[in-house]
Structure 1
Amino acid sequence: MTEDLTFNSKMAAVYEKNTRISIPTYNSLFAMIQSYYRVQLGEKAASLLLIGAGGGNELSAWGPSNPGWTFTGVDPSEEMLKIAKHKVVELGLESRVSLIQGTTDDLPKTHLKFDAASCILVLHFIDDVQEKLKLLGSIKDKLKSGAPFILVSAYGNHDESELQARLNVWKSFWIDAGRESSEVDEMVRSAITRLSLLPEKQIEELLAESGFMKITRFYSTGLFAGWICHTE
């Protein structure tokens, strides 16, 4: 058990470090989302659905300072969920967190609808556009009327110079963090070019088609952007 916790701690440390190199404003992003949720949800108790909850960063950022919030997190990765479970125990959030390996389809059919939801750094890993649309639609169906939803994803068109310019900025984050230029170029070839990116306009169209409204981009850093919206 001790070895397992040590392993998860090391995984979490690497994940945390790399994420914050890739997205230097990562902490600020979660603070912004928390402020937005607080305004939208008020002082009442609230249930939040976290898509891609493995890693547990949403839980770390929002759990301790919002005792009236409960969280249901879904993630298909068993290893990432181990990191999240480790953080839940570490923060003493066991009574307010439920973690499910899988997708929104694996949520209990009897579960009440949620007050808010987030999908952070997930959409660009889904290759098929119709699957992206299916995910967004399933999230919308799990939310109460008027509930806020936050989407954060890498975005752009692989064939356009605008993305290449932002990619150069992203590469500089890693070089400034001590990585060799050749290593960063390999990261681009092996990982970034394989991401299933969509232009901002198409992402907003998918959100609207899924039943979300008042869609607004509120965040952008390097390769990534974030949108706020609400269910109808």
Structure 2
Amino acid sequence: MSPVPPNNIPTSFGPEEAATYDERFSKLSAVNSLLHLVVQSQFASLPDTAHILIAGAGTGAEVRYLAPLFPSWRFTLADPSDAMLEIARRHAVEEGFADRCTFHAGYVSSLPEAEFDAATSLLVSHFLNEEEDRTAYYSSIAERLRPGAPLFEAALCGNRSDPIFEMEMDVWLGLLTLAGMAAEGRENYRKSFGTLFAAHDPSEVEKMIGAAKFDRPVQCFQAGLIRGWITQRL
């Protein structure tokens, strides 16, 4: 991954952004809940002592979901935003699983190499506009997984050359309307898709994952412009 933070992520997710992040899309919590349910189903066969890498952990939503279900699992939460990670730490302390968490303020590529039993990357990789950076991000995860370990990846994506893309975007903007996004915000969002954050074609995402020492990914989730894949480290 580039040493320069893509899209200035740490600044974009500073204290003010972090303080409101959990509530901003709370009306779309069903989407996150379904994502977490799919992760649970795909990781359920992991050993009781599994160590899970959470790439781009943000405020730690998936750990808050998984930790009570799997009380012996350990988690390493990596995120370049100190502010977001501090909220994740606060949740872990308040909810009683902080002793099973390691908090790494930085990119996955700056983590010591290890052999994690699984990894998640939820709504993170679309901040990497360049194919080279995004492939390197997937590689940094692969380098820290044991062979055969699963990765669940979910990101915004869409084929803007496909005639149905505008309909897909309208569906997604309809969901953002439910989340409270005003008309001006939705118009800015439409313009930003592919500029402020990536808009890779789903097939391009699959190709980048495969180029990073992962098996062919299988799409197993879609909600609007969010797609999710399961794959495993070769």
TM-score interval, smaller chain: 0.7 to 0.9
Asked if residue 206 in structure 1 is aligned to residue 208 in structure 2, the reply is yes
| Partner-residue secondary structure (3-state), 2:169 | helix
Could you state the TM-score of these two structures normalised by the residue count of structure 2?
0.85
Q: CA 1:214/1:189 → structure 2, altered by over 3 Å: closer, same or farther?
A: closer
User: Would you say 1:58 and 2:46 are equivalent positions?
Assistant: no
Find the counterpart in structure 2 of residue 164 from structure 1: 166
Whole-Å Cα distance in 2 between the matches of residues 159 and 57 of structure 1? 33
Select which of 1, 12, 19 maps to 2:25: 19
Amino acid at match of 2:120: S
Deviation at 1:20, TM superposition (A): 4.2
Distance 2:159 2:216 in 1: 24
Asked if 1 retains the 8 angstrom alpha-carbon contact of 2:159 and 2:202, the reply is no
Following superposition, the deviation at residue 84 of structure 1 comes to 0.8
SS of residue matched to 1:204: helix
Unaligned runs of 5+ in 1: 1-7
The total of aligned residue pairs comes to 220
Is the CA contact (8 Å cut-off) linking 1:212 and 1:229 kept in structure 2? yes
Structure 2 CA distance for aligned equivalents of residues 214 and 127 of structure 1: 22
CA contact (8 A) 1:54 1:82 kept: no
2:11 aligns with: none
- In the alignment, the residues of structure 1 paired with residue 75 and residue 51 of structure 2 have an alpha-carbon distance, to the nearest angstrom, of 6
Aligned ranges for residues 47-196 of structure 1 at < 5 Å? Answer: 47-109=51-113, 112-190=114-192, 194-196=196-198
SS at match of 1:73: strand
Amino acid corresponding to residue 129 of structure 2 in structure 1: D
Paired position in structure 2 for 1:36:
42
Once residues 174 and 95 of structure 2 are traced to their aligned partners in structure 1, the CA distance between those partners, rounded to angstroms, is: 34
CA distance in 2, matches of 1:205, 1:187: 26
Distance 1:122 1:180, change over 3 A: closer
Report the alpha carbon displacement of residue 45 of structure 1 after superposing the two structures with TM: 1.0
Question: Aligned partners of 2:181 and 2:87: how far apart in 1?
Answer: 25
* Aligned 8 A contact 2:55 2:119 in 1: yes
User: Is the 8 Å Cα contact of residues 124 and 197 (structure 1) preserved in structure 2?
Assistant: yes
What is the aligned-residue RMSD (CA, Å)? 2.3
- Mapped to 2, the partners of 1:136 and 1:95 lie a distance apart of 28
- Distance in 2, matches of 1:199 and 1:190, equals 16
CA contact (8 A) 1:19 1:26 kept: no
Offset of residue 181 of structure 1: 2.7
- 2:80, 2:180 → 1: CA distance? 32
Normalising by structure 1, we get a TM-score of 0.86
Q: 1:9·1:83 contact (CA, 8 Å) conserved in 2?
A: no
